[in-house]
Amino acid sequence: MSADGTHQVDAELGTERIDPERYTSKEALKAELEHVFGRAWLMACPLAYLRSPGDAYPIQIGQEPIVIVHSDDGEIRAFYNVCRHRGRQIVTRPRNIKSLFCWFHGFEWNLNGSVKNIPDREDFGNYTNDEDLVLPSIQCEIWGGFAWINMDPEAPPLKEFLGEVLPEFERYKLEEYDLVEETIVEWDCNWKIGADAFQEGYHGPITHPQLQFVLEDSPDMQIDLFELHNRGIYIMGAPCKRLSDDERREANPILRAIAESEGVNPDDYVGKLDEMRLAIQEARRANLSARGCDVSKLTDDQMTDDHHYFIFPNITVNTFADKFSVFRYMPDPLDPAKMVFWVQQFERRGPNEEPAPLPEITYGKGREFKFDNEVYNQDANNVPWVQQGVYSKSFKGMLFNHQERRLRHFYHVLDQYLDGRR
């Protein structure tokens, strides 16, 4: 902060505008898919999809089809999901399989990627062998209840990539949460425009005015910039101090529902909603502990507050003591003006509670799709208009202020991958 009390932009991360062509250029998209998505660790799927031997989960990263498989020996492995004969994708949907079988000509692999059967193999003469036909593997690691993949064979281990956020996440014990909801929606914008919308709170008062009644969106909110990733901490459970005393007197319906879900009566805290936040924290800790959930390493503030992480290059994780959500910003393989917004919701499960069944996936497209959460709808309405705007010859490029320094940090790391410094 300067002598006159104003914030200064973090100059070490750069102050230049972000070139609009980075959101419109096919060449820029190609470079990102190769140098960023082809080299960074990526969250592939929750382990709920890989519970039993034979469970297989396909995922598309740019133009690369990949399949994650629970092998017969108990290992979770990842392979390029492409038949070595004619290139057909082998696994086309999450399911349990006996082998990796291509439904075009019947080429077949064991669950560890080794060749199992080649129909009429003698007709290929002597120009094929098992070494040539084995399914190419991809780095795959398990952490936090997820399978993670990396297409770079020289990439460092996942835990090294996660760096400073690793011990923070481990306090939550993410592997103890169940996937309960999954939504996949096509958006008409570049994947970075989608990711940008969820890395700053500056837009909150205008885009999400209702949130001011349940969280503090002060310009002075805590922001942590790590080596690759970043975090913003949204203080939740009481109205924003920007509101008037009258507006902060009684809990609005959203805040009331939060309190009542933990057994706290909002009517006992009229005129003292900051104290109700503390009561919610105490009640939530007691309720989770009574179910056998170990929340001993979480602070009281973590009982209510959203520790909002961005995991480079394309993941947001909103972490709470009783639930968390994952947003993934998936680039279209060919069109820089399209992406997929992929939302997965998780809820904490006690040690004596049955695992939740896998939810049905909901699919949607554009602004016409309506989420149950109005916050998502409000962001979904903004992003295509941003994409339209960046095409204008009048637009000089993205300009970030101090409240948006998580974005500046994101592009700083992105550039390090693109120019080969990482």
Nearest one of 251, 246, 284, 247 to 267, comparing CA atoms: 251
Q: Could you tell me if residue 282 is inside a domain? A: no
pLDDT at 207: 94
Are 116 and 224 found together in one domain? no
Average pLDDT, the chain: 95
| pLDDT at 5 exceeding the cut of 60 | no
CATH of the domain at 132: 2.102.10.10
pLDDT at 219: 83
Are 220 and 358 found together in one domain? yes
d(CA 89, CA 45): 18
The last residue of a domain, from among 111, 129, 154: 154
Are 301 and 400 found together in one domain? yes
Region of 54 (left: φ > 0; alpha: ψ -120 to 50; beta: rest) is left
pLDDT at 225: 96
The last residue of a domain, from among 154, 180, 211: 154
The mean per-residue pLDDT over the stretch 221-245 comes to 94
Are 188 and 51 found together in one domain? no
Q: Could you tell me if residue 294 is inside a domain? A: yes
Q: Could you tell me if residue 310 is inside a domain? A: yes
Q: Could you tell me if residue 269 is inside a domain? A: no
**pLDDT tens readout for residues 294-351:** 999 999 999 999 999 999 999 999 999 999 999 999 999 999 999 999 999 999 999 9
SS3 content of the chain, % helix, strand, coil (to 5): 30, 25, 45
Does residue 65 have a cis bond before it (omega within 30 degrees)? no
pLDDT at 2: 42
Q: Could you tell me if residue 272 is inside a domain? A: no
| pLDDT at 68 exceeding the cut of 80 | yes
Are 201 and 101 found together in one domain? no
**pLDDT tens readout for residues 8-38:** 456 678 789 999 999 999 999 999 999 999 9
Q: Could you tell me if residue 204 is inside a domain? A: yes
Are 53 and 117 found together in one domain? yes
For residue 78, what are the contacts with CB-CB under 8 A and spacing of at least 6? 44, 66, 67, 68, 69, 137, 138, 139, 140, 147, 149
- Percent of the chain residues topping a pLDDT of 70: 97
The torsion defined by the Cα of 104, 107, 109 and 115, in degrees rounded to 10, comes to -160
The last residue of a domain, from among 154, 180, 195: 154
Are 173 and 137 found together in one domain? no
d(CA 211, CA 373): 12
Q: If pLDDT is split at 50, 70 and 90, which confidence band does 187 have?
A: very high
Q: Could you tell me if residue 356 is inside a domain? A: yes
d(CA 62, CA 330): 8
The mean per-residue pLDDT over the stretch 349-360 comes to 96
pLDDT at 93: 96
Are 116 and 183 found together in one domain? no
Are 310 and 172 found together in one domain? yes
Which structural domain range is residue 194 located in? 11-23+166-239+290-418
The mean per-residue pLDDT over the stretch 82-108 comes to 97
| Minimum mean pLDDT range among 122-131, 221-230, 324-333, 402-411 | 122-131
Are 55 and 179 found together in one domain? no
| pLDDT at 151 exceeding the cut of 90 | yes
pTM here is: 0.94
The mean per-residue pLDDT over the stretch 280-295 comes to 98
- Percent of the chain residues topping a pLDDT of 90: 91
Domain count, the chain: 2
Are 54 and 171 found together in one domain? no
DSSP state of 155: P
The mean per-residue pLDDT over the stretch 160-176 comes to 95
d(CA 376, CA 381): 9
CATH of the domain at 349: 3.90.380.10
Q: Could you tell me if residue 400 is inside a domain? A: yes
pLDDT at 10: 64
- Sign of torsion, CA 205 208 210 214? negative
Give the chain's length.
422
Are 355 and 206 found together in one domain? yes
pLDDT at 11: 60
Q: If pLDDT is split at 50, 70 and 90, which confidence band does 133 have?
A: very high
The mean per-residue pLDDT over the stretch 55-70 comes to 98
Q: Does residue 393 contact residue 27 with C-beta atoms inside 8 Å?
A: no
| Residue 76 C-beta-side C-alpha neighbours within 13 Å | 23
DSSP 354-373: PPPPPPPEEEEETTTS--SS
